[in-house]
Structure 1
Amino acid sequence: MRAVVPDWEPSPALEALDELVQVSAASMPAVARRAQLSESELHALRHLMKDDLGPADLARLLGVTAAAATGIVDRLEAHGHVERRPHPSDRRRTMVDLTPSGRTQAIGLLAPMFRSLAEADAELSDEERAVVTRFLRQATVAMRQVM
């Protein structure tokens, strides 16, 4: 970081954040490779764990075209991780549901990380958690400035 801002000494908190950002950037490609999925497919599984979505919704969340989202859904369907069903109120649309194998795959890939994060969070007092949350929210705003 010093090369970016001359005469600046980052704090240990900023160095830890930089390390987290670097590890985060490397972790999803590694997890996707291990699962024999693309990063987009892995991110789609993460979104589908939260809610059933249509291909257009996935396109928006993944930042890809509708055609690309359809290809992602096609590949996940071929793996048996998702299935399409008619939209409950709009016959022109389809919904994408995570199958039990898709849920198992996503949970198996990401659960160790989420479990460790939950353990680290549990070690914080409410006051510490508030400070960490405020710092991370401000760091997110700072990072969005370059998007």
Structure 2
Amino acid sequence: MSLEADVRQHVSTSTGLSDTEVHALEHLARQPIGPAEIARLLDVSTAASTGIVDRLEAKGHVERRPHSRDRRRTEVVITDSARSEVLQHMGGMFRALAQLDASLSPDEREVVVRYLRGAVAAAEAAGPLVETVP
């Protein structure tokens, strides 16, 4: 299991949300998107995406709003309470990372940043590691 999946599982378990719901919230935390875009990003059907949004909306984690530029469309927006709840469960990790960062010298931080940028570039250049089947 990847670190990303481990973190998502932790948040899922501690919040009572499904892994898919947490994954949807990750995308929505970046910016409001429509249900069809959620379906595409999660690789689920639009019907499944609607169910995910319905459940998140019922729990008060998202709201449906008219699209900011195209009033015929709907966009899904994460609520402040959802952000707070996820941050509450992730706070310990964020504090530990801040302490780790503070413990590094400027030279050490430069090496870490250079390594991480290189690792991200290598991963992006490799493309998807797992082929998805339609």
Q: Tell me whether the two structures share a fold, i.e. TM-score over 0.5.
A: yes
Matched, 1:133 2:105: no
User: How far off its partner does 1:23 sit?
Assistant: 4.9
Tell me how far apart the structure 1 counterparts of residues 38 and 31 of structure 2 sit (CA, whole Å): 11
User: Partner residue of 1:111?
Assistant: 91
Residues 71-108 of structure 1: CA distance to partner in whole angstroms, max 9, x if unpaired?
22111011111110111221221111222321221221
Contact 1:46 1:106 in 2 (8 A): no
The TM-score normalised by the length of structure 1 is 0.69
1:46 aligned residue: 26
- Runs of 5+ consecutive residues of structure 1 not aligned to the other structure: 1-20
TM-score if structure 2 supplies the norm length?
Answer: 0.75
Offset, 1:50: 2.9
Which structure would you say has the larger RCO, counting Cα contacts within 8 Å and 6 or more residues apart? 2
> Aligned letter for 1:31?
V
- The structure-2 alpha-carbon separation of the partners of 1:120 and 1:83, relative to structure 1 and needing over 3 Å to count, comes to same
Larger radius of gyration: 1
Question: 1:6 corresponds to which residue?
Answer: none
Q: How do 1:9-48 residues align onto structure 2 when only pairs under 5 Å count?
A: 23-48=3-28
Q: Which amino acid aligns with 1:86?
A: P
Q: Distance in 2 between matches of 1:35 and 1:74?
A: 17
Conserved 8 A contact 1:45-1:106: no
CA RMSD of aligned residues (A): 2.4
In structure 1, C-alpha distance between the alignment counterparts of 2:60 and 2:97, rounded to whole Å = 29
Mark the CA change 1:38 to 1:122 in structure 2 (over 3 Å): closer, same or farther: same
| Alignment partner of 1:82 out of 62, 69, 87 | 62
